[in-house]
Amino acid sequence: MIRIPTGLRARLVITFTLVAVTATLVVATIGYELAKSALVTRTETTALDLVTRELSSITFPIGTLRPGEAAPTHRELEVLAHALSGPGRTVLVEYDGLVASEGPLTLRDVPNELYGRANQSLVTQRTIVHDELYLLVGAEVYRDEEGVSEATGLRAFVFFPLQDDEAQLATLRTTLARTGVVIVLIALGVALLSARQVLLPVRRLSAAAQALGQGRLDTRLPVHGQDELAELTAQFNDAAAALELSVAELRSLEAMSRRFVADVSHELRTPLTSMTAVADMLSDEASRLPQAPAEAVRLVLREIERLRELVEHLIEVSRFDAGTATLNLEPVSVADAIDDCLKTRGWSEQVTVRASQGLTENLDPRRFDVIVANLVGNALKHGAPPVVVSARATENGLEVKVRDHGEGIPPEALPHVFDRFFKAGAGRARSQGSGLGLAIAKANVQLHGGTISVRRQNPGTLFTVWLPHA
């Protein structure tokens, strides 16, 4: 299957070349036909003039003979035939059964239709005899007698060869073809040059648009001329300037927002520390309080813990947004790191760990602890037992999987589970948790250069973390 070029440059060149080819063919065809017509007309005129002149100069008696006149002899007919002959011609002169000829052709080569018409007037016809083209002129001589034209019975047929004319036409065709090829090549060169000049601003616009897409918002193009492309370039510059201004404003607002979150989070740390200390004291006394005050104390303790977790997560997110999060890699026993994470949070009895003791990787232990804690915590809060954590070495990294056996995340929520503050389902809008845990886990995985994914199981949900060898 022929592939049709779709680029603007190719279409311009093809269109320009097709126009040039069409124009060349039309001009060459018209020129050839005009030259051919002129050549044929000249040949016929010359032949007719020659035959007319020679036949009008006949001096011997012909036609109805008068007293004392003798019929023309064969010799006289031969003289007339010789007078009409020339290079390549064949002449046939016929009178009252006598035929004189000059050349290889005979009366059998004269078409019957022309032979009949020659009784009435001077006629011509192009005919092919023995694979060669001839112009055949036939005429009967008339004798004027006292103003009356009288047929004499003398007929002459002259075959004029057209080989020279055909050669000239062939030469003309060859010349026109070569000239056409040269014109098409010139047109192709002009088309390529024109397309390059026309598309140069377009290529510059494309490069500038690509630069904008890569974040170089100060990209501008010089405006040359006053045509449509110049107007388009000016509009591009205006759009780029407006985009740069808008992005600058958005970045400023985003920076202010990040700074606000970071400042608020840090400011909340101090009162939270005091509240946590008081909460610890209240926790010790809650068992000795009446039921209603004890329940209120437990509620306050849960909300303080939730607020503390939210503040810690906000501070962690602000570090990632500010670009200050760093990795401190060291050899880590993966199984021990997972066990320590679970023991610290009191989850060891609720989680099954499948990892070999000899498995060691270069990791940031604190960030690896955050990844495991967020995934396991999410499974315990929103899934159902058994919760299984497995780790194994792959060909090019470390693979950690966390699976629960609950109802699973709704399919429509899967693409958004790593979004900040996203909680799947209306019933989880007020559930325990900040909605930032999975987003923070993903950020820590990406900081290691790894990937994290989620998939529904039957039953439950499976999170898979891959961290490359460091």
CATH number of the domain encompassing residue 427: 3.30.565.10
Please check whether residue 279 lies inside any domain of the structure: yes
> What is the chain's alpha carbon radius of gyration, rounded to the nearest angstrom?
53
CA 285 to chain centre: 75
SS3 of 360-386: the string is EEEECHHHHHHHHHHHHHHHHHHCCCC
**Where does the pLDDT of residue 465 fall: very low under 50, low under 70, confident under 90, or very high at 90 and above?**
very high
In a domain, residue 199? The reply is no
| One domain, residues 26 and 117 | yes
Q: How far apart are CA 389 and CA 359, in angstroms?
A: 14
pLDDT at 429 over 50: no
Q: Is the same domain home to 262 and 356?
A: no
What was the pLDDT predicted at 263? 66
Quick one: pLDDT at residue 80? 86
Q: Is the pLDDT of residue 451 over 90?
A: yes
Q: In the prediction, which pLDDT does 342 show? A: 92
Residues 270 and 351 in one domain: no
Q: Is the pLDDT of residue 452 over 90?
A: yes
Q: Are residues 156 and 245 in the same domain?
A: no
The arithmetic mean of pLDDT across residues 369-384, rounded, is 89
Cis peptide before 271 (omega within 30 of 0): no
Higher-pLDDT residue of 194 and 394 is 394
Domain that holds residue 267: 217-325
Q: For all residues of the chain together, what is the average pLDDT?
A: 82
Last residue within a domain, chosen from 325, 350, 381: 325
pLDDT at 233 over 80: yes
The reply to whether 356 and 337 lie within a common domain is yes
Residue 176 in domain: no
Give per-residue burial for 110-128: e unless 16+ CB within 10 Å, then b.
Answer: beeebbebbeeeebbeebe
Upper half-sphere CA count for residue 430 (Cβ side, 13 Å): 2
Q: Is the omega angle on the peptide bond into residue 468 within 30 degrees of 0, that is, cis?
A: no
CB of 252 closer than 8 Å to CB of 278: no
In a domain, 291, yes or no: yes
What does the pLDDT read at residue 426? 45
Does residue 2 fall inside a structural domain?
no
Looking from the CA of 122 toward its CB, the CA atoms found within 13 Å total 14
- Domain identity same for 399 and 279: no
350 vs 264 pLDDT, higher one:
350
Which residues, other chains included, contact 61 with Cβ-Cβ below 8 Å and sequence gap of 6+?
69, 70, 71, 72
pTM: 0.47
Question: For the chain, what is the HEC assignment?
Answer: CCCCCCCHHHHHHHHHHHHHHHHHHHHHHHHHHHHHHHHHHHHHHHHHHHHHHHHHCCCCCCCCCCCCCCCCCHHHHHHHHHHHCCCCCEEEEEECCEEEEECCCCHHHCCHHHHHHCCCCCEEEEEEECCEEEEEEEEEEEEEECCEEEEEEEEEEEEEECHHHHHHHHHHHHHHHHHHHHHHHHHHHHHHHHHHHHHHHHHHHHHHHHHHHCCCCCCCCCCCCCCHHHHHHHHHHHHHHHHHHHHHHHHHHHHHHHHHHHHHHHHHHHHHHHHHHHHHHHHHHHHHCCHHHHHHHHHHHHHHHHHHHHHHHHHHHHHHHHCCCCCCCEEEEHHHHHHHHHHHCCCCCCEEEECCCCCEEEECHHHHHHHHHHHHHHHHHHCCCCEEEEEEECCCEEEEEEECCCCCCCHHHHHHCCCCCCCCCHHHCCCCCCCCHHHHHHHHHHHCCCEEEEEECCCCEEEEEEEECC
Domain ends where: 302, 325, 348? 325
Q: Residues 284, 432: one domain?
A: no
Based on the fold, state whether residues 162 and 289 are members of the same structural domain: no
Q: How confident is the model at residue 427 (pLDDT cuts 50, 70, 90)?
A: very low
Contacts 24+ apart (CB under 8 A), 296-305: 302/432, 304/272, 304/275, 304/276, 304/279, 305/279
Q: What CATH number is attached to the domain comprising 315?
A: 1.10.287.130
Structure tokens at 85: 């002959």
The Cα–Cα gap between 400 and 353 comes to: 11
Residues 281 and 426 in one domain: no
> Which of 53-62, 233-242, 289-298, 452-461 is the most confident on average?
452-461
Q: How many domains does the chain have?
A: 3
Residue 321 in this model has a pLDDT that exceeds 70: no
Per-residue model confidence as pLDDT tens digits over 252-292: 777 776 676 666 666 666 676 777 777 667 666 666 777 77
CATH number assigned to the domain comprising residue 161: 3.30.450
Q: Is residue 290 part of a domain?
A: yes
Mean pLDDT of 336-349: 91
Q: For 116-146, how does the pLDDT look when each residue is reduced to its tens digit (9 = 90+)?
A: 888 777 888 888 888 888 989 998 887 776 6
Task: Looking at the structure, tell me whether residues 138 and 259 fall in a common domain.
Answer: no
Higher-scoring residue by pLDDT: 63, 381:
381
Is residue 292 assigned to a domain?
yes
Does a structural domain hold residue 190? no
Considering the domain architecture, whether residues 141 and 98 belong to the same structural domain is answered as yes
Domain end residue (candidates: 290, 325, 360) = 325
The verdict on 386 and 457 lying in the same domain is yes
